[in-house]
Amino acid sequence: MMDWTDRHCRMFHRQFSARALLYTEMVTTGAVIHGDREKLLGFSGAEHPLACQLGGSEPQDLAAAARIVEDFGYDEVNLNVGCPSDRVQSGSFGACLMQEPQLVADCVAAMKAVVKIPVTVKCRIGVDDQDPEEALDALADRVLAAGVDALWVHARKAWLKGLSPKENRDIPPLDYGRVRRLKARLPQLFIGINGGIPSLNASEALLAEADGLPALDGVMLGRAAYHDPALMGAVDRRIYGLETGDVSPRQAIEAYIPYIEDCLSRGIRLSHITRHMLGAFTAVPGARLFRRILTVEGVKAGAGVEVLTSALAALDEAQERAADRIADSAA
């Protein structure tokens, strides 16, 4: 998610689940081909499995960028056909490509011709006054024919005129049924769903049949996973069926500390890393104190891991005090 996630965020999220597929934010073909690749694409081996999302609409540029992505070691390359920002529209890629399904298929074919890793697409159900029944079928049919390995559908339209990117993530209504109907028509294609999925309960419901329509093949969580990373602690058990214990936020943070120490030794500021864990504890005693210590102390020059350990200690104390109060009132 542009401006939100980065490699530090992915590495933190990886502590909660060994299996969940993590995605980069969108990087444009121009940046990949001409920019600082290590800065844009660099990642830690422990982040696998990892997909890189590209933004672009020139088949040959996408092929060149996909090859670079594969050489970097990514497990999948994904094409963005869902982003509605003005910047993206002026470059004629992102969600406006919903209006050009054959061009998207050409992009997929060009990428498939040069890489061995899966090539996937993330799209909307339509844009503006498109009929989602026709628009999504047209896109899916063409990318399937071009050999796409999976289609992820953000289950709402993007309205390219009149709504900000943020509004375009909330205002156009969600239509999960539309995505299930696509799966019914194209059972051979991996179809994943995204948009407004708040929890693992909701994820499990989408991964099961409903109302005579088939189960979807995958769920993609954006904002919920970012704001409440703790929900990912049960993903390996509940979604992947692994016989493994759930990971608590504290366990995830403790497992993440060696990575933070390594980043600090390379001159990265603590707050750049810990900003992704501000939502790790929600609705528990001490959560606000935890956040406050990280945001006030963590931004100071030279802040080290001790800020994080003191935030965890403050959380512990707040929880002990709360437990004492409950015991007192029960006595």
Ligand X SMILES: Cc1cc2nc3c(=O)[nH]c(=O)nc-3n(C[C@H](O)[C@H](O)[C@H](O)COP(=O)(O)O)c2cc1C
Catalytic residues: 83
Q: Closest residue (Cβ) to ligand X?
A: 222
Please tell me the distance from the alpha carbon of residue 263 to that of residue 329, in angstroms, as a whole number: 45
Q: Is 94 annotated as a binding residue?
A: no
Please tell me the distance from the alpha carbon of residue 127 to that of residue 125, in angstroms, as a whole number: 7
Q: Is 279 annotated as a binding residue?
A: no
State the minimum distance, in angstroms, from the CB of residue 198 to ligand X. 8
Q: Which amino acid is at 53?
A: Q
Please calculate the CA angle 26-151-220 and round it to the nearest 5 degrees: 65
Toward ligand X, which CB reaches closer, 15 or 28?
28
Token pair 């005693």 in the structure block, residue: 285
Toward ligand X, which CB reaches closer, 1 or 189?
1
Toward ligand X, which CB reaches closer, 174 or 303?
174
State the minimum distance, in angstroms, from the CB of residue 166 to ligand X. 7
Residues pairing with 210 in the sheet: 213
Toward ligand X, which CB reaches closer, 2 or 18?
2
Please tell me the distance from the alpha carbon of residue 193 to that of residue 22, in angstroms, as a whole number: 15
Toward ligand X, which CB reaches closer, 16 or 303?
16
Q: Is 302 annotated as a binding residue?
A: no
State the minimum distance, in angstroms, from the CB of residue 301 to ligand X. 27
Report yes or no: 159 and 121 within 8 Å, Cβ to Cβ.
no
| Residues within the interface to ligand X (CB under 6 A) | 1-4, 25-26, 53, 80, 82-83, 122, 154, 169, 194-197, 221-224
Q: Is 35 annotated as a binding residue?
A: no
Q: In this structure, are strands 76-81 and 22-28 parallel, antiparallel, or unpaired?
A: unpaired
Please tell me the distance from the alpha carbon of residue 322 to that of residue 327, in angstroms, as a whole number: 9
Six token digits for residue 165: 């990117």
Please tell me the distance from the alpha carbon of residue 305 to that of residue 311, in angstroms, as a whole number: 10
Six token digits for residue 11: 């590495």
Q: Is 192 annotated as a binding residue?
A: no
Toward ligand X, which CB reaches closer, 120 or 303?
120
Please tell me the distance from the alpha carbon of residue 283 to that of residue 233, in angstroms, as a whole number: 16
Q: How many residues does the chain have?
A: 331
φ, ψ at 23 (rounded to 5°) = -115, 145
State the minimum distance, in angstroms, from the CB of residue 154 to ligand X. 4
Q: Is 78 annotated as a binding residue?
A: no
Please tell me the distance from the alpha carbon of residue 252 to that of residue 262, in angstroms, as a whole number: 16
Report yes or no: 185 and 144 within 8 Å, Cβ to Cβ.
no
Q: Is 218 annotated as a binding residue?
A: no
State the minimum distance, in angstroms, from the CB of residue 105 to ligand X. 19
State the minimum distance, in angstroms, from the CB of residue 271 to ligand X. 18
Annotated binding-site residues for FMN read 53, 122, 154, 194-196, 222-223
